[in-house]
Structure 1
Amino acid sequence: MPGIVHISETISLALHSMVFIADSGKDIVNVKEISAAMGCSEAHLVKVLQRLVRAGFLYSMRGPKGGFGLTKKPESITLLDIYQVFEGSPALTGCPTHHQSCPFKSCVFGGLPGKLNQEFMAYLSQKKISEFCCKDFF
Structure 2
Amino acid sequence: MILLSRRSLLAIAAVVDVAIHARPMPVAAKLLAARHNLPPRHLETVLQQLVRAGILKGVRGPRGGYELAKERRRITAGEIVRAAMATAGEESLPPVPESPLVDKVVGPAVKEAGEAFLARLDAVTVEDLCRRAEDRSVFGGPPASVDFTI
> If the TM-score is normalised by the length of the shorter chain, which range does it land in?
0.7 to 0.9
Equivalent-residue separation in structure 1 for 2:59 and 2:30 (angstroms): 14
Asked whether the equivalents of residues 76 and 125 of structure 2 are also in contact (C-alpha less than 8 Å), the reply is yes
User: Considering only aligned residues, what root-mean-square deviation do their CA atoms show, in Å?
Assistant: 2.4
Q: Give a deviation string over 1:68-115, Cα, whole Å, max 9, x none.
A: 011100100111111111325xxxxxxx8684532xxxx7xxx5x566
| Matched residue count | 120
Measure, in 2, the Cα distance between the counterparts of 1:64 and 1:4. Answer: 37
Which of the pair is proportionally richer in helix?
A: 2
Using the TM superposition, name which of 15-24 and 128-137 deviates more.
128-137
User: Deviation string for 1:30-83 (max 9, x for gaps)?
Assistant: 112111111112001111101111111111122321100111001001111111
Please point out which of 50, 56, 59 is paired with 1:58.
Answer: 56
Runs of 4+ aligned structure 1 residues displaced above 6 Å come to none
Corresponding position of 1:132: 129
Distance 1:118 1:60 in 2: 30
**How far, CA to CA, are the matches of 2:52 and 2:41 in structure 1?**
17
Name stretches of at least 5 consecutive residues in structure 2 with no aligned partner: 87-95, 140-150
Unaligned residue ranges in structure 1 (runs of 5+): 89-95
Partner of 1:91: none
Matched residues, percent identical?
Answer: 29
Partner of 2:104: 101
Could you tell me how far apart the structure 1 residues matched to 2:2 and 2:32 are?
29
Residue 63 of structure 1 aligns to a residue whose secondary structure is: coil
Partner of 1:92: none
Q: TM-score when scaled to structure 2? A: 0.68
